Structure 1
Amino acid sequence: MANPWRGEVALVIDGHEQVLKLTLGALAELESTLGEDTLVGLAGRFESQRFSSRDIIALLEAGLRGGGGELPEGGLAQAEIAGGPMAAARAAAELLARAFTLPET
């Protein structure tokens, strides 16, 4: 079960609930992978709804690694995500938000 106070997000991938979390290392990797100079720029993509499917996959893959889950390289692109692309986009945006804010009580 995901703990929002730890920045965790739950997502069902291939029928199994996975806990995703962005670590500092994953955030640094995302800046490089997605071609953003700052995390503010990356967050801005999601806030202004200018994100791509590549952004979503990169965030979810980083979150999986940070949460201790593993999929083979490129495995997420072939995985079945419960709720489809909208659930994946929602989870990616939530991951990014939880990395920098406390959950609402």
Structure 2
Amino acid sequence: MANPWTGEVEIWLDGRCHSGKLTLGALAELEAGLGADSLISLAERFERRSFSARDVLAVLVAGLRGGGWQGSAEDLRHADVGGGPLGAARAAAELLARAFALPED
């Protein structure tokens, strides 16, 4: 089970629950994979709901790998993501939001 207090997000793949987390290494992998100007610009795309399927896939792969998953983008392309495309987009947005959230006092 994912722990939201540590930035984890539950991601269902092929009926199994995985914990995703955007660690510093996962964020670096994400930034390199997307060739993004900055991760803030990527987060802003999700806030504006102007993200692409490629963005969602990249964020999910990075988050899953940050959570210990050993798969690849190709594996994720063939997986059944819980909630379908909308569930995948929600999980990706949650990963980004939790990665950049400030701790509450």
Normalization by structure 1: what TM-score? Answer: 0.91
Alignment of 1:25-40 (within 5 A): 25-40=25-40
Runs of 4+ displaced beyond 4 Å: none
Is the contact between residue 4 and residue 103 of structure 1 (CA under 8 Å) also seen in structure 2?
A: no
Q: What displacement does 1:40 show?
A: 1.1
Rounded to whole Å, the distance in 2 between the matches of 1:73 and 1:103 is 31
**1:98 aligned onto 2:62:** no
Partner of 1:50: 50
Normalization by structure 2: what TM-score? Answer: 0.91
Is the contact between residue 11 and residue 20 of structure 2 (CA under 8 Å) also seen in structure 1?
A: yes
Label 1:72 to 1:41 Cα distance change in 2 as closer, same or farther (>3 A). closer
Which letter maps to 1:49? Answer: R
Q: What percent identity do the matched residue pairs reach?
A: 62
Rounded to whole Å, the distance in 2 between the matches of 1:71 and 1:29 is 14
Q: State the superposition RMSD in angstroms.
A: 1.5
Unpaired stretches in structure 2, ≥5 consecutive residues: none
